[in-house]
Structure 1
């Protein structure tokens, strides 16, 4: 079964494209915001600002109670008129949860500041505290519009809302040469606008429809959402361990450098996310209908094909940025954050492995309990192991390496479990030959690009070097692919053909 067929099936190509574009715009605007604020704030102010984001995003998982996910699960089971009732009910609950979140932040600001050893954080959190009340009711846009196959609105909403946030957060800092406090005030104002826009957007699929009471109760809603909170909490615990230890033991300035550098390339999540959306229902069907063993062979072929094509799209770009990590970071954040390059390089190493989207396979196999237990175990390892790394090595870089290595091991454990369940060897799941050829080709092309630019008769620096490198890389990559039996165009072309056809 060819991936071209999968991407065309049931009109999912264009839906996935709009979701990916929305994600890309959100990430791009977040990067622009970070790049600007890094230049206007001193490291203390910027580190405090990033700590506020860290606290908010960490607690958001708890206080949102998994509610944004209920839309995609329950709305398809009810009529559109009843769906309108469900959206209103859940949004009201999110509003209440936002109020509790805001109150919690205000009352515990001193405790959180003490934990992170930053007294200034207490003031910032209290000023920030009304924002969750305004933002939590905006959650769930993705689930609503994906249910009614109107994902273009997700891209529009994400682009508009993130652009407004960029404008209101950054502009006061630039105009008044302000501190992180000015940025928070701007965030507070834009949150009011985002709430109004989100409530308008949530009503778009139900225009002209009369609200009809649904039989869905809050007990059912929380019965579905709260178990997801448990899995999310373990995932949050894993992600927040290194941030906590670096913030507490290495200071605000190192935390600022780490925050700007330890990020993954956004398009990786776009590609793997779209692949997950397409593969999940197909995996479920193949496993459910696997009565004579043929389903396993078909699933394996489908999996390897998808993995190979994801690698063809992702690996060359990862190699490019890996070779240009320092220049990329300096271009984005200025020379002040040159030290962030080492964290950027470490984080990108994970991109060679996380093209393996194991979650759809585990869910299709009904292994959700294993999925939750695995994350619980790795959360314990993240905190206990992270503490030992801090005490034993006293190095934020080693802590970043440990965090990345742990993520790779988690992928390996998941694949082994899948192999046991399907009664196949783990190596059968990995197209090793194709991946090695991809890596070799991309590395050789990137080395050639470095040599070519080094031979130029005039000095090339910073952004110009990055642009020329990218152009030369693309020009050399495509025609030399045949020497390695690779065809990048054949992977990208069907996606655009499917989009145009839809």
Structure 2
């Protein structure tokens, strides 16, 4: 595996990370503003609208978005153009069904979630799938053809429009939930127009050639993805559903803001997954042996954990101040939920889907999620009946997710013909974790001794102290960030000749 290839992958991941950071920033800004200009009940209702959309999207997309990365990496650009056209038509048809479902079933969904005020916003939101689903593959298309920098531009522009369209009706006109939802739909129309344009940039001056890929083959690939997505939907939405139905809309708002995996960790994992799926697909088609997969896997694990671990530990230590800074003092109780879910980030340092789907083992991925889905639904139901508690539901969700990740780790080790000891760079992971914990503990002590109480001051000073301590600790422990992220640094500061 050449150094140039590794550099290209790292740069692609960098642009994806920038795109994800833009999306994360907009999400945090929107949440921070809406939490302050809406009542808890209104914000909870808006969160439920997005919750319904994101969960039903898994059902109506049928696992097809991953087909872009898998198949475009295996065909010529001429055939790739035909593949994109076929998938766009499929998504438009699925989006039409999705929109009609939201229109007709808004009232039953509202009753099911225990919030009568939810029906009207859902009907207003019904146009969003028609605008967003046809461009679901734009990011994957650009990644496959090495144009990840356009992904960053696309995400930044579309999210800026989202801020303007969602915030203005709420802040300026006091339009509440309905205004925010209508603004979201308007911003979706901008995303649709830009996304359709970008989808075909890689195919400029390329004649369309009919691909041998049929719709039947697309669905044959997507069905395991769809199945695992459905089980993942149950895993991700089960806790929110039981909180909404049995604990109320205000507790749902707390849970929605608090029980949220570290967004920056998701940003890193998303970037790694976006780059690795087409890469693993190419390697699988070329007949690469398991040692090559393991080598690439370990390199990606070290890079992702070197970013995720320090951030996860810091957020766990300073959770109350971070939550209050973002959402206000009314959401302080959510800090405990945030600490619980942060534990997942210590295990979710590698996306398992790319290697499993590239090796044609989508069913194994789906089986692990099925077992986890059954477990979490049963435990959540028992919890709300026996001892309804937000923290208990958070602990159940975290434990079940960790169980799923362990099963996927075992499956990956077996497929790559290695052991758990050989699959992960355990020693390096432990070093990064200990260095992070030591730096964050010292930063927390420093802040406590100064007597600071202002949330922004505590977070800022704590982060600065943590960084000043972590850098020398990581160097002494042998963590070489310059070597890990050399391609990124060379992009930021190119060599002068």
- After TM superposition, is the score higher than 0.5? yes
Q: 1:177 aligns with which of 161, 174, 183?
A: 174
Is 1:346 equivalent to 2:343 in the alignment?
A: no
Report what 2:469 is aligned to: 476
Report what 2:391 is aligned to: 397
CA distance in 1, matches of 2:260, 2:111: 26
CA distance in 2, matches of 1:418, 1:471: 38
Q: Point out the more displaced range, 142-151 or 306-315.
A: 306-315
CA distance in 1, matches of 2:473, 2:246: 48
Report what 1:207 is aligned to: 204
Does the 8 Å CA contact 2:280/2:355 hold for their aligned counterparts? Answer: no
CA distance in 1, matches of 2:119, 2:106: 5
Shift of residue 277 of structure 1?
5.5
Shift of residue 340 of structure 1?
1.3
TM-score of the pair, normalised by structure 2: 0.90
Report what 1:374 is aligned to: 368
Report what 2:68 is aligned to: 71
CA distance in 2, matches of 1:101, 1:242: 23
CA distance in 1, matches of 2:260, 2:182: 26
Report what 1:329 is aligned to: 323
Report what 2:408 is aligned to: 414
Write the deviation string for residues 283-317 of structure 1: whole angstroms up to 9, x where unpaired.
Answer: 95699555xxxx55x76565445434432222111
Counterpart of 1:263 in 2: which secondary structure? coil
Report what 2:446 is aligned to: 452
Shift of residue 276 of structure 1?
4.4
Report what 1:439 is aligned to: 433
Write the deviation string for residues 400-454 of structure 1: whole angstroms up to 9, x where unpaired.
Answer: 1111111111122222334445565434434444333333322222222233334
Is 1:222 equivalent to 2:219 in the alignment?
A: yes
Shift of residue 230 of structure 1?
1.8
Counterpart of 1:322 in 2: which secondary structure? helix
Counterpart of 2:188 in 1: which secondary structure? helix
Does the 8 Å CA contact 2:138/2:196 hold for their aligned counterparts? Answer: no
Does the 8 Å CA contact 1:313/1:488 hold for their aligned counterparts? Answer: no
Report what 1:196 is aligned to: 193
Q: Point out the more displaced range, 348-357 or 70-79.
A: 70-79
Matches within 5 A, 1:42-81: 42-81=39-78
CA distance in 2, matches of 1:110, 1:277: 37
Q: 1:240 to 1:475 in 2, by over 3 A?
A: same
Please, which runs of 5 or more residues in structure 1 have no aligned partner? Answer: none
CA distance in 1, matches of 2:79, 2:352: 34
Q: 1:250 aligns with which of 242, 247, 260?
A: 247
Is 1:467 equivalent to 2:464 in the alignment?
A: no
Counterpart of 2:62 in 1: which secondary structure? coil
Q: Point out the more displaced range, 462-471 or 166-175.
A: 462-471
CA distance in 1, matches of 2:40, 2:142: 40
Report what 2:313 is aligned to: 319
Q: 1:251 to 1:130 in 2, by over 3 A?
A: same
TM-score of the pair, normalised by structure 1: 0.89
CA distance in 1, matches of 2:335, 2:392: 14
CA distance in 2, matches of 1:300, 1:202: 32
Q: 1:207 to 1:482 in 2, by over 3 A?
A: closer
Write the deviation string for residues 431-482 of structure 1: whole angstroms up to 9, x where unpaired.
Answer: 44433333332222222223333444x7451112211111111112112334
Q: 1:77 to 1:413 in 2, by over 3 A?
A: closer
Does the 8 Å CA contact 1:390/1:396 hold for their aligned counterparts? Answer: no
Does the 8 Å CA contact 2:10/2:485 hold for their aligned counterparts? Answer: no
Q: 1:153 to 1:487 in 2, by over 3 A?
A: closer
Shift of residue 269 of structure 1?
2.7
CA distance in 2, matches of 1:287, 1:346: 42
Does the 8 Å CA contact 1:65/1:225 hold for their aligned counterparts? Answer: yes
Please, which runs of 5 or more residues in structure 2 have no aligned partner? Answer: none
Q: Point out the more displaced range, 396-405 or 15-24.
A: 15-24
Does the 8 Å CA contact 1:7/1:498 hold for their aligned counterparts? Answer: no
Counterpart of 1:15 in 2: which secondary structure? helix
Shift of residue 149 of structure 1?
1.6
Shift of residue 101 of structure 1?
1.0
Q: 1:423 to 1:194 in 2, by over 3 A?
A: closer
Is 1:497 equivalent to 2:494 in the alignment?
A: no
Shift of residue 174 of structure 1?
0.6
CA distance in 2, matches of 1:86, 1:361: 22
Does the 8 Å CA contact 1:478/1:488 hold for their aligned counterparts? Answer: no
